Amino acid sequence: MKSLLLLSSLVSYTYSAVVPRAEEQVDYSGFKVVRLELPEANSDIEAQIEELAAHVLNPGKTSHLDVVVAPESVDAVTALVTESSIINEDVGAALAEEGELLIQEVPAESWFTAYHSYADHLTFLRDLQGGFTSQSEIFTTGSSVQGRALTGIHIWGSGGKGSKPAVVIHGTVHAREWISTMTTEYFAWQLLTKYAGNATVKALVDKFDYYIIPVVNPDGFVYSQTTDRLWRKNRQTVSSSSCVGRDINRNWPYKWEVPGGASTNPCSETYKGQTAGDSPENLGLRTQINQLRDSGGVTLYLDIHSYGQYILWPYGYDCNLVVHNDAQHRSLATRAAAAIRAVSGTRYTIGPACATLYATTGDSTDYTDGVGNATYSYTYELRDTGNYGFTLPASQIQPTVRETWEGLVSMVKDA
Ligand code: 0X9
Ligand code: ZN
């Protein structure tokens, strides 16, 4: 009973002494930590100390008490004992040195050892951003058929937000290409978590503003996790058919009408849509590209897919056309492929998309080149070459993201 009373008096006193105004933090500027040596029979003195102190740091200790005391109460407290010493002159200053509270923990590298749900991917992005609030921001650009916001992270360095040309990275346009989600997240994670301690990464982040959307087809991605692991398209319907889904990578409004590189059949995996750009996901993505083109410009665009181990650049829509800066595209791709291979031997094939792989109309990189005025536009096809295909084992996530990161580093250095 006695201890309960003591506790309640302590709590009420402490509360009245340090209660912050609504939504404000207690200000400990000038408060001191004082060590008070206690005499043998001390319960009475202890009670008086507790009355005067803001907090007792080691309640229950019999030899001495360490207490946080307001500057005006220091004399009164020390007068209660024969021996005392000041341990900390300014608790407020000590708290400031401790740094800002991390509301959310920065995700650990172990994130990249497993695949994750869409909800957890959003949490990953928010947690990552929460650890680096002064140089990153969550952004959205439009939403999916089912109303999910296309959500990305904007990362910047020394010049401040939006001061540099853009590097834009899109992941998981094809729902089943899960390794692409992990890889684009690894890029963001590396850029932010290594910025302070790694001169190479710092230089990359200080050179460009990064806009990374790990999942640009959230409805399809969720569907690939809940219903059909091998789903590719979005989840948009057409009145003329019971089949679902447009291929967002055949829906971009640039050379969309050219025949041969996409399907007009709603049941096809490469259904291009009824009209150019008629998917809400494409609207969000092209709005982002157009805005960046009209502000600082886009230097590098990457669309991350799997599988096949390719680095491809425009054009997709015509196998005989050569992009005006083909040699520069080839040069960056050659060096990136070498950087990837140097990590653990993974071999990439590089070349113009149509001539190297197959024809595509309405694909992202033709648009970022032809309309977005991006200096460089690449499609990456990550591991593997067909053994596992889209269902790359979790044990290959880390090797894949690490080697692909070196490809990004190489390209950004050269761009
Ligand atoms: O078909 C696609 O959209 C991409 N391949 S995937 O297997 N991930 O679907 C390739 C796009 C690259 N462009 C061209 N090959 N033209
Ligand atoms: Zn793909």
- For residue 177, give the CATH number of its domain: 3.40.630.10
Give domain status of residue 123, yes or no.
Answer: yes
Give domain status of residue 215, yes or no.
Answer: yes
Give the number of the ligand closest to the Cα of residue 260: 1
User: 11-15, 131-135, 170-174, 280-284: lowest mean pLDDT where?
Assistant: 11-15
How many domains does the chain divide into? 1
Higher-pLDDT residue of 26 and 272 is 272
Q: Whose CA is nearest to atom 12 of ligand 1?
A: 353
Q: Which tokens in the block code for residue 365?
A: 């990189």
Task: Place 105 in a pLDDT band, splitting at 50, 70 and 90.
Answer: confident
CA of 357 to the centre of ligand 1 (A): 8
Give domain status of residue 227, yes or no.
Answer: no
Contact assessment for residue 36 and residue 73, using Cβ atoms and an 8 Å cutoff = no
Give domain status of residue 295, yes or no.
Answer: yes
Give domain status of residue 290, yes or no.
Answer: yes
Task: Place 132 in a pLDDT band, splitting at 50, 70 and 90.
Answer: very high
Ligand 1 test: best mutation among 363, 364, 380, most atoms within 8 Å of CB? 363
Give domain status of residue 147, yes or no.
Answer: yes
The answer on pLDDT for 6 being more than 60 is no
The answer on pLDDT for 61 being more than 70 is no
Ligand 1 test: best mutation among 170, 172, 173, 174, most atoms within 8 Å of CB? 174
Give domain status of residue 368, yes or no.
Answer: yes
Tens of pLDDT along 376-410? Answer: 999 999 999 999 999 999 999 999 999 999 999 99
3-state secondary structure (DSSP) of residue 153: strand
Residue range of the domain that includes 176: 109-222+273-414
Q: Whose CA is nearest to atom 1 of ligand 1?
A: 360
Q: Which of 177, 185, 281, 381 is catalytic?
A: 381
Give domain status of residue 77, yes or no.
Answer: no
CA of 205 to the centre of ligand 2 (A): 27
Q: Rounded mean pLDDT of 335-355?
A: 98
CA of 240 to the centre of ligand 2 (A): 26
E strand spans, 194-315? 209-213, 237-238, 241-244, 298-306, 310-313
Per the annotation, the verdict on 381 as an active-site residue is yes
Closest to 56 in 3D by CA, of 44, 43, 67, 45: 67
- Tell the burial category of 19 from Cβ atoms under 10 Å away from its Cβ (0-12, 13-18, 19+): exposed
- Tell the burial category of 169 from Cβ atoms under 10 Å away from its Cβ (0-12, 13-18, 19+): buried
Q: Whose CA is nearest to atom 14 of ligand 1?
A: 353
Q: Whose CA is nearest to atom 4 of ligand 1?
A: 305
- Residue 6: CA count within 13 A, CB half-sphere: 14
Contact assessment for residue 319 and residue 354, using Cβ atoms and an 8 Å cutoff = yes
Q: Which residues lie with the beta carbon below 6 Å from any ligand 1 atom?
A: 174, 177, 249, 305, 312, 316, 353-354, 357-360, 363, 379, 381
Residue 56 confidence (pLDDT): 78
3-state secondary structure (DSSP) of residue 376: strand
Tens of pLDDT along 262-282? Answer: 999 999 999 999 999 999 999
Task: Place 4 in a pLDDT band, splitting at 50, 70 and 90.
Answer: very low
